[in-house]
């Protein structure tokens, strides 16, 4: 029997603890419907503004497969009324009963208030995520890095007495003082904030095209937000620290660099209640949710876990015993990978089998090259004697 990936986020029941981050492939009902029919546990729409907007000038994205991605999109979206429309929501849910979650990112606090008022008690919307972390809107600061702005935003929103669970998307923090300051503000509004999503992209990165001697993207002089595998370790630290500092009533959603079931497991172990996937969804498409859910189930079966609650938030302290256990497990995994490769691989051995096959081919190539070299050397020696 497969282990359960279900969770309860902000009072909402999710069949799977993974779902899409607000970002690429979440801007239209057709894109969201593909998320709905995957193993994602919820559907989160693109961060909306008051009016439809096209975003920053192109090119505004960059990718280095397996390392990182960067974007400076500038919140292209169809405007709040599109994501509130019954037709959009019904189409996005694609006949499922998965929670439909709204994301908003107004240019001003007044914009956010207006969008929340338009949402009202719309019965088709299950939760709303307030983006306080976007670094890609030209001329606008990241609200959650300014504690006075963060306080003002949460104070104002709390007075609206929202009928829907409220989540807030946070930027990455890097210093203990900033973690503590942000958590202190958020905890004041624990009756209003149902969850915190950490982290958004790491802002103000720059990729240089060495051939053209220019930035890799156009907007903001080439500065953009980094996402993908490179940010996972910062995301894990933010999830763990926020779980330590925030009131237990506030759930944590882990996001940043998640590409596999193992990555999801790590986020949950650090205290996340659910995990969002952005960059991998952008690159791989909604099939990533099926793959990652399967990988998480496989890992849980291997470890003997029947539900995520059995290990969620239970990261153990470092110990010599843990090091020994890790070495033993890694050695066993290596032996298993070799057996799986010899047997033709399997559902859980795809990556190991591919790597082993690559190594085998590489060894053959080297052997041929060395043989040719030795043959040539033998002929030369024969000619000299």
Active site residues: 134
How far apart are the C-alpha atoms of 102 and 237, rounded to whole Å? 26
How far apart are the C-alpha atoms of 6 and 38, rounded to whole Å? 15
Burial classification of residue 85, based on how many CB atoms lie within 10 Å of its CB (0-12 exposed, 13-18 middle, 19 or more buried): middle
Note whether 273 and 8 are within 8 A (CB): yes
- How far CA 349 is from CA of 283, 287, 295, 352, 356, in Å, comes to 22, 18, 11, 5, 10
* β-pairing verdict for 251-255 and 274-277: parallel
Phi, psi of 10 (to 5 degrees): 55, 35
Note whether 158 and 150 are within 8 A (CB): no
Per the omega criterion (within 30 degrees of 0), is the bond before 59 cis? yes
Note whether 102 and 79 are within 8 A (CB): no
Q: What is the DSSP letter of 364?
A: H
How far apart are the C-alpha atoms of 335 and 28, rounded to whole Å? 46
Selection from 71, 76, 28 nearest residue 51 by Cα:
76
Cross-strand partners of 195: 167, 251
How far apart are the C-alpha atoms of 217 and 222, rounded to whole Å? 5
Selection from 244, 269, 226, 275 nearest residue 182 by Cα:
244
């Amino acid at each position: 029997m497969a282990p359960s990936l279900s969770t309860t986020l902000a009072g909402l029941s999710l069949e799977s603890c993974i779902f899409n981050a607000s970002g690429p492939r979440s801007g239209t009902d057709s894109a969201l419907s593909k998320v709905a029919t995957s193993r994602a546990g919820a559907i989160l729409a693109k961060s909306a503004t008051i009016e439809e907007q096209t975003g920053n000038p192109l090119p505004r994205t960059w990718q280095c497969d397996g390392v990182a991605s960067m974007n400076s999109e500038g919140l292209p979206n169809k405007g709040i009324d599109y994501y509130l429309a019954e037709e959009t929501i019904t189409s996005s849910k694609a006949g499922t009963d998965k929670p439909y979650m709204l994301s908003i990112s107004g240019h001003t606090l007044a914009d956010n208030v207006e969008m929340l008022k338009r949402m009202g008690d719309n019965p088709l919307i299950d939760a709303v995520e307030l983006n306080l972390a976007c670094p890609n809107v030209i001329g606008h600061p990241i609200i959650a890095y300014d504690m006075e702005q963060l306080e003002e935003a949460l104070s104002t929103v709390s007075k609206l007495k929202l009928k829907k669970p409220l989540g807030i998307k946070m930027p990455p923090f890097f210093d203990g003082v900033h973690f503590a300051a942000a958590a202190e503000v958020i905890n004041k509004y624990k009756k209003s904030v149902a969850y915190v999503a950490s982290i958004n992209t790491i802002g103000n990165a720059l990729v240089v095209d060495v051939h053209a001697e220019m930035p890799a993207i156009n907007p903001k002089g080439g500065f953009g937000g980094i996402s993908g595998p490179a940010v996972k370790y910062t995301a894990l630290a933010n999830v763990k620290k926020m779980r330590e500092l925030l009131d237990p009533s506030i759930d944590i959603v882990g996001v940043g660099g998640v590409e596999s079931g193992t990555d999801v497991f790590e986020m949950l172990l650090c205290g996340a209640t659910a995990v969002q996937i952005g960059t991998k969804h952008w690159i791989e498409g909604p099939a990533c949710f099926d793959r990652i859910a399967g990988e998480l189930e496989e890992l849980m079966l291997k470890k003997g876990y029947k539900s995520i609650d059995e290990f969620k938030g239970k990261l153990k302290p470092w110990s010599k015993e843990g090091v020994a256990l890790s070495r033993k497990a890694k050695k066993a995994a290596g032996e298993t990978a070799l057996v799986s490769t010899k047997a033709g691989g399997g559902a859980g051995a795809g990556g190991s089998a591919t790597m082993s096959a690559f190594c085998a081919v590489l060894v053959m190539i080297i052997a041929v090259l060395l043989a040719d070299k030795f043959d040539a050397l033998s002929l030369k020696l024969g000619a000299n004697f």
